[in-house]
Amino acid sequence: MTVSEPAKPGRYEMYPFRFKRLDRDTELLTSEAGEFVVADRGTVARILAGDILEDSALYRELTARQIIYDAESVGLLDLLAVKIKTKKAFLLSGPALHIVVLTLRCNQVCRYCQASSRKQDDAKYDMSDATIGKTVEMIMQSRSDNVTVEIQGGEPLVCFDKVRTIVGLSRTQAQLCSKQVSFVLCTNLTLATDEVLQFCKQENISISTSLDGPRAIHNRNRGAGWDDNYGRFRERLCRAFDIVGSDAVSALTTIAPPCLDSPIDIINEFVDIGLKSVFLRRVTHVGRATCWSDTRQAYSDQFLKFYLRALDYAIELNRKGVEIAEAYASLLLHKMLTPFPAGFVNLQSPAGAGIGVLTYHYNGDVYAQDEGRMLAEMGDFTFRLGNVHSDSYTAVIANPRLQSLLRDTCNEITPGCSDCAYLPYCGCDPVQEYTSHGVVSVSRPLSEHCRFHMAVFDYLFQRYLRGDDLTRRIFMSWALNRPVSLGNAKGAGRCTV
């Protein structure tokens, strides 16, 4: 009988990595590219002490996730660099999302409206044809080969002729510039006639709409428009499913303070209506929503509770075979469980404002992000980068305000973020921070964005790591925007328990 050599500590070096204690017994270690390992408490101290045994499963896992390297794996540094570049791909392409505010007019008066919408008959708040032309010109100067034009308002269908104009012009110009262009129409759907829906089908336009919950909640929030806004919405949504196709229609819900005790009702409504995803959006305290600013801190706390309850319920429904994803959690899971960025401006570092998205207001002003133009309606032009009539695309992108915004939203150099284990998955919401504290770069321990995301990442990691195979498959389906697979989720993720 031979006795093998006792295992010896491996000779290894560390790559940069971050860690946090998940609970009393476990530590989460995340690599520079966002791959992660969950290990027993004390693992980080053992890594530092050079005490990880070479023939252990942990050693192999830490090497595979590029937390440590040895003589055999030192050549894989380039691979890690490629992974980092992939995760930061949004930095390289130029703004791909172009939000065009065709009008501020709206046929409804939603109590949480952030956009300072105007009366339906006040046509001076429409974008002129000349401004549409200049806007499309600027959009086509983006370095991105694939651009999305998101048509917003107000309610853009109060000026459907302008929707036709910008779609037609964008298609022509995109062809000349050899770009691919896609369209999203943000609408409350109540003015979406069959003619409008046929146009969307013909032009391959996706529809992004909003539903506040069951009839009582929806009608209470909407204020004006139809006697039964909810009934009208449902009827038009069904037509949109029929004509445009259910895959081309998505919906979000803005959680106004009076709705904070209804997470289950709201999700049930989305399921009942046949939607496969719900985006639970918190109120941004601009526009009409400033009426709740005094209770902002309490709202923040309550929204977090609401959100986690909603996630619990959505997971429970999926476990029973009902397919419903929460869209924001899906974005977070996409970042956690895949090598790719999420394409969501507030989940990027630096924030995607100006580099991933530009917003063109009805009067030609260009803003770094959508909420920037909403703030401008309140007289604050902090996020204004220029105007399509007086500034070139280069001048907009080179605006010192944008440079400053990028610096202030770069988590890699922000105290509290730079060594956070969740840095590879997180981002920054400059407008939310600005409206809370008057500055973009807020000390992280005071940041609402930080507090919310720390709690949600904790929740998602705990559920993913402690959950059974079905829970993991549900999360993977959310991350990949696909139906829940019947296979085993092990190996599909990027983690070790």
Stretch that binds other proteins, among 157-165, 415-423, 472-480, 487-495 (CB under 8 A): 415-423
Would you count residue 42 as binding other proteins (CB under 8 A)? no
> Dihedral of the CA atoms 146, 147, 148, 153 (nearest 10)?
180
Q: Which is nearer to other proteins, 455 or 480 (CB)?
A: 455
Would you count residue 89 as binding other proteins (CB under 8 A)? no
Handedness of CA 474, 356, 154, 378 (dihedral sign): positive
Would you count residue 298 as binding other proteins (CB under 8 A)? no
The only residue of 22, 37, 44, 476 in contact with other proteins, by rule CB under 8 A: 44
Q: Which is nearer to other proteins, 144 or 182 (CB)?
A: 144
The only residue of 194, 294, 419, 469 in contact with other proteins, by rule CB under 8 A: 419
C-alpha 496/C-alpha 232 separation (Å) is: 49
Would you count residue 15 as binding other proteins (CB under 8 A)? yes
Handedness of CA 37, 39, 43, 47 (dihedral sign): negative
The only residue of 22, 52, 80, 423 in contact with other proteins, by rule CB under 8 A: 80
C-alpha 151/C-alpha 157 separation (Å) is: 10
C-alpha 398/C-alpha 420 separation (Å) is: 30
Q: Which is nearer to other proteins, 113 or 397 (CB)?
A: 397
Would you count residue 161 as binding other proteins (CB under 8 A)? no
Would you count residue 81 as binding other proteins (CB under 8 A)? yes
Stretch that binds other proteins, among 74-82, 162-170, 249-257, 486-494 (CB under 8 A): 74-82
Give the contacts of 390 (CB within 8 A, at least 6 positions apart). Answer: none
Number of residues that bind other proteins (CB under 8 A): 30
> Which run of H or of E encompasses 279?
strand 277-282
Give the contacts of 113 (CB within 8 A, at least 6 positions apart). Answer: 106, 287, 288, 289
Would you count residue 443 as binding other proteins (CB under 8 A)? yes
Specify burial of residue 461 (Cβ count, 10 A radius: 0-12, 13-18, 19+).
buried
Site for other proteins in 363-402 (CB under 8 A): none
The only residue of 32, 126, 212, 269 in contact with other proteins, by rule CB under 8 A: 32
Would you count residue 445 as binding other proteins (CB under 8 A)? yes
The only residue of 92, 123, 238, 322 in contact with other proteins, by rule CB under 8 A: 92
Stretch that binds other proteins, among 3-11, 110-118, 330-338, 445-453 (CB under 8 A): 445-453
Backbone phi and psi for residue 286, each to the nearest 5 degrees, phi listed first: -135, 170
Site for other proteins in 47-66 (CB under 8 A): 48
> Which run of H or of E encompasses 44?
helix 43-48
> What is the number of residues in the chain?
497
Structure tokens at 471: 């829970």
The only residue of 7, 378, 439, 446 in contact with other proteins, by rule CB under 8 A: 446
Would you count residue 183 as binding other proteins (CB under 8 A)? no
Would you count residue 145 as binding other proteins (CB under 8 A)? no
The dihedral region occupied by 9, where left means phi > 0, alpha psi between -120 and 50, and beta the remainder, is beta
> Which run of H or of E encompasses 316?
helix 296-319
The only residue of 85, 305, 407, 482 in contact with other proteins, by rule CB under 8 A: 85
Please give the residue ranges that form the binding site for other proteins (CB under 8 A): 13-21, 32, 44-45, 48, 77-78, 80-82, 84-85, 88, 91-92, 415-416, 419, 443, 445-446, 451
